[in-house]
Structure 1
């Protein structure tokens, strides 16, 4: 099960690619440079529901949009909209118990929500969050963001998929590599100024990816932030959640069942 599998070699670049073979990039593994280490400072801390198993996370119109995962006996996945300062929930949509909620994004005033293993995508109208249709995705659903036109999806592999939001057809596939080779377990995503920031599942790192080449060009080590949560660090409560605040040029980061959201400024 994705959320409980132990991955120990992710940052060394070991692992398999998705079974899709038409990856497109201009990156030769022999020429990949060592990613730049990006420092940061914490500029604010906000409340986060410790019951939220965070999968999708972004800011829109001043509100936090979050997709949570869990299903069956362990809980119910939800789509949430809430106030950053207080954590007060303004809207909540519960998924049927068979679905594990994953990445979310907005294109053309429609919100798209992935599910993990059921190959289902839910599409909602904004601002009502009324579900208007369901679509199909052939792989596992992990993270999702947008460049403003296309959806960009991760599947837990080393690939990023550019997807047409109208019919969910794959436009192109980007193979992501660091200086050790293909980088698997790419999870929650955020597209900012032409680059993709991504959580690497079960690590304390965010990577900065050039989608033109697939190269990891920067890494952000958030180990210190994970340790600042006022609860014991346990296996499943990993870093997962990146939201960009364009008005302040800062990022919000959180994790699964974390009681806090951290606002950070990259140096």
Structure 2
């Protein structure tokens, strides 16, 4: 009896181990391997002057005119800029107690976020008159749009799709890469079905798949000011500002209080 019982337990143990091994193998096969973002290389086509008093928060081409939103208390503005000179052609100053953030232009309306004031301005793109103001429950950081919605970042890893008619959130997307969630998402630009985003306090521009939130590629602009012999001072701040120009299929990038704006082409 002792021998028979021992044999029975050995057989059961064998099948149990085999079943466990198969389960572990199947589990590992079901795990999705997230690829590290690819490197985006670029070519500098031209270097333009940029107003070093502009704390750049948003940058956008509209009808082949360049617009810029700037921040800082008592200095925040909405600007139409002559990109060849860096000079403002038109401008609207925000109240001294408001900190301007990202901008975008959608159906002849200009939208401008504020940082912690929970206010969004809607301007007439021709007259620059304020037509509406909206409430926004989070901090305002980056702003862009696709064909139907405004798209907003708030400094974390979430990006929000918003109905431009009433500023209600219709979709929330978490941004991730192979290491997990990616925070500090800042200025945004929508190009050919993908989101491009500055990652605050870094030299990276991220390319994000809006269907999954995954960072599929990134561009490293570290040292671009030094490489092009631009004067860097204690006021020169971080990379921020992405604008895609459809007429030339090129990107324009700059930074907060940078002395230069770059027209670049992805390789």
TM-score (norm 2): 0.85
Larger mean Cα displacement after TM superposition, 188-197 or 102-111: 102-111
1:71-82 aligned within 5 A: 71=73, 75-82=74-81
Residue ranges of structure 1 left out of the alignment (5+ in a row): 1-27
1:157 paired to 2:156: yes
Contact 1:107 1:149 in 2 (8 A): no
May I ask how many residue pairs the two structures share in their alignment?
237
Whole-angstrom CA distance in 2 between matches of 1:235 and 1:131: 31
Matched-pair contact (CA < 8 Å) for 1:204–1:226? no
2:165 maps to which residue? Answer: 166
Matches within 5 A, 1:52-63: 52-63=54-65
Q: Which runs of 4+ in 1 moved over 6 A?
A: none
Task: Please list, as runs of the form range in 1=range in 2, the aligned pairs for 1:16-95 lying within 5 A after superposition.
Answer: 31-71=33-73, 75-95=74-94
Matches within 5 A, 1:110-259: 110-227=109-226, 228=228, 230-232=230-232, 234=234, 237-259=237-259
- Contact in 2 for aligned 1:229/1:258 (Cα 8 Å): no
Larger helix share, 1 or 2: 2
Q: Which of 1 and 2 has greater Rg?
A: 2
* 1:168-199 residue CA offsets vs partner (Å, 9 max, x unmatched): 00010010001110000000000000000000
Q: How many Å apart are 1:226 and its aligned residue?
A: 3.6
Q: Distance in 2 between matches of 1:115 and 1:29?
A: 41
Deviations 1:10-54 (Å, cap 9, x if unpaired)? xxxxxxxxxxxxxxxxxx995321111010110001111000000
RMSD of aligned alpha carbons: 1.6
Select the structure with the greater relative contact order (CA < 8 A; seq sep ≥ 6). 1
Alignment TM-score, normalising by the size of structure 1:
0.85
Aligned residue number for residue 13 of structure 2: none
Structure 2: where are the runs of 5+ without partners?
1-29
CA shift, 1:87, in A, is 2.2
